[in-house]
Structure 1
Amino acid sequence: MSVQHDPVQRADFDQVMVPNYSPAAFVPVRGLGSRVWDQSGRELVDFAGGIAVNVLGHCHPALVKALTEQANTLWHVSNVFTNEPTLRLAKKLVDATFADRVFFCNSGAEANEAAFKLARRVAHDRFGPEKYEIISAINSFHGRTLFTVSVGGQPKYSDGFGPKIQGITHVPYNDLDALKAAISDKTCAVVLEPIQGESGVLPAQQAYLEGARKLCDEHNALLIFDEVQSGMGRTGDLFAYMHHNVVPDILSSAKSLGGGFPIAAMLTTDDLAKHLAVGTHGTTYGGNPLACAVGEAVMDVINTPAVLDGVKAKHEQFKTRLQAIGEKYGIFGEIRGRGLLIGCQLVGAWVGKAKTVLDAAAAEGVMVLQASPDVVRFAPSLVVEDVDINEGLDRFERAVAKLVQG
């Protein structure tokens, strides 16, 4: 039997919620696979994926089963005790990556916060208190806590909250000379997204990541890869660093790791992990059985050749069709990204109008994202079916046609 709830509607948002979001005019109420239904029963194709979170779409049977079984078993014990799902998921992440150790938390910002704190603690312990500077990229995005928003290279998110965390430098992305000029023996870490997500789906150049690794080694600095958006199969590899064969010292993961259930992880080596001794860092919910049970099911499904190869094939399907739409209507230039993290660069009269495209797409029954005002972003389920890809892109083309025809 289903529970009876009081009726709510979109207008209630403006009455009871802090106004830091401006959600769509419709309210999704149900999802299955890559389809979503709103309160009026209207069906939409989901190419937004909860901002690269719904890695297996909505209500995937493997995730529903893992969550339901765990919900009937054990919810929370805190980190005064460990639990079986935590240990199973940690082992799977360690076995599949460069890492020896895992720290679980609840969000990408928390995973990055842990990464930055670890980098500073390592430098402090090994070289003394002067070595604390962090270098990150202009237009990068690393989360919304005070530390992560200060490291992120977008002042619009960090201005107006009082003094910023000190010792942070921002350099242009993909510019090795700028990084070389900025790094010094005071640098404790360089943090990079292998694909800059929020600022326009910009992939790192191979030589840039190789150069960053070399510079970090020369200056006893740690290389941190923020793979919150690019990780967990999103690019067609389990993590994007694998494609480049450039191994970081610390990696952050979140979003897709839980397939929609909040969980994040910081991965690192034995040698570095020992600097976070008992009591140095923590979180109440981190590694709770519910989240880790779901995360383990996500790993089991996506870390397979069938799914990862499928992501690469689906990339080509999207890219071919989006290029055709872009050429036909003169709305897109470059189509960027890897796997199922795709950005379409708006050109001409459409520059700065990603939100307009997003709204038009929703009106035609397809959910897409923006990555900066100049880029339309696609981050669908990694197992999105061909029928959904074709139907969603048909709807998207209708939206573009209507926009262009005015």
Structure 2
Amino acid sequence: MPPLLDQDASPKPDAPRADDTYLKIASHLAGHLDIRSALEAVVAEIGRIIEVDHVDVCLLDEDEAWCASYEVGYQTHWSRERTRVSTSPVRTILSGETAWMLTDDALSDERYVFPSSNSGPILEFNLRSRINVAMKVMGRTIGVLSCSACRKARYSRGNVTAIAHVADVLAPYFHALQVSERARQAAIRRAESIAREEGLRQGALELTSAMEQERQRIGMDLHDQTLADLTRLMREVEADDRRLSPDMIVARLSDAVNDLRRIIDEAVPTLLDMFGFAHAVRIHLERATAGTGIVIQVEDEAHQAIDRLGATTRTALFRIVQEAVNNAARHSQGSRIVVTIAEAQGRVGVTIEDDGRGMAEPPGETSGRSGQGGLVHMQTRARLIAADFAVESKQGTRVTVNLPLAAKPRGTSPEMPA
């Protein structure tokens, strides 16, 4: 790659006056709102002072343990990822041990290339001649301005002084841009945090409403079915109805008991506690698809990993699976439902898939239909246990929820309602 400016020596005898160059550099900075574009705007003027193939600015992070780089010339990994100060080729300047560095050949200079140093770009692009000077604001080092040439021995002590003046011009402007960017990122994080909290608040309200509806459903089930059956049986017994044999009474009482067991199992997942997550899911699948002809399958590839989670988290996961299975059984019009439990890289996940018609509306767009309302409740439950939740609806529907094995519910106690 040719130099940024084609010059044979540094500086040239006919180089412009230094004061004019510094004024031009200051004027070029005006209007640039990010560090990289500001650096691109001034590099031509730097090239009028010395021969350069590569210019980079390295700025300290707030914790001063890491630094971020911006470069013009060669594009290297310096500007793609942060560097730990202890491994930086300019660590002595960043740490305040020295104000500048000068070398005729960085490739053989142990200050730049040392064990564990992040000096790959120096070696890869043959950045031999280098000047590095501290960028300071109010006496504090905020970063380093570095100029490099591929040829050896291109710089002198006089060049160091000139580039130090350039650094003095750039430092306050770049520092202001860096502070502005930090403030912008902090504002984004605050906005995201507020949005998450509002989402959780709204989700908790919706979940409370859903729980109230569930209590009403249980009450209606008890009133309209179990209690009605028992009341009818009691009246027939009191009337001494001779048509009732002991076997008939036992059979009807057995039906009522089974109805109660069903209601209890749906309200409190005792199967989950007694037999584990995978077995409870399998039992629910069988009940949800009874009489439909839907083929069901449960694959536990996590070796009961979910059973090692806390009770609240485990129950919330089970409720999500219940809702997803119910939606698939009632609305998908598919012929198969598969639930897969898997563990990988310290995370455990559950996937519920069907081969049905898919969702009529894109995930996330609610219309008040029961299936979509169930989706909102699943999303809320997932957020409350810090789980990732996703829905894909193409050829059938695929619901995925996963979380770290060490996950804890957000802002909840073990008594959080499931």
Question: What is the TM-score when the length of structure 1 is the normalising length?
Answer: 0.20
- Which of 1 and 2 has higher RCO (CA within 8 Å, sep 6+)? 1
More helix by share: 2
TM-score if structure 2 supplies the norm length? 0.19
- In our comparison, the structure showing a higher alpha carbon Rg is 2
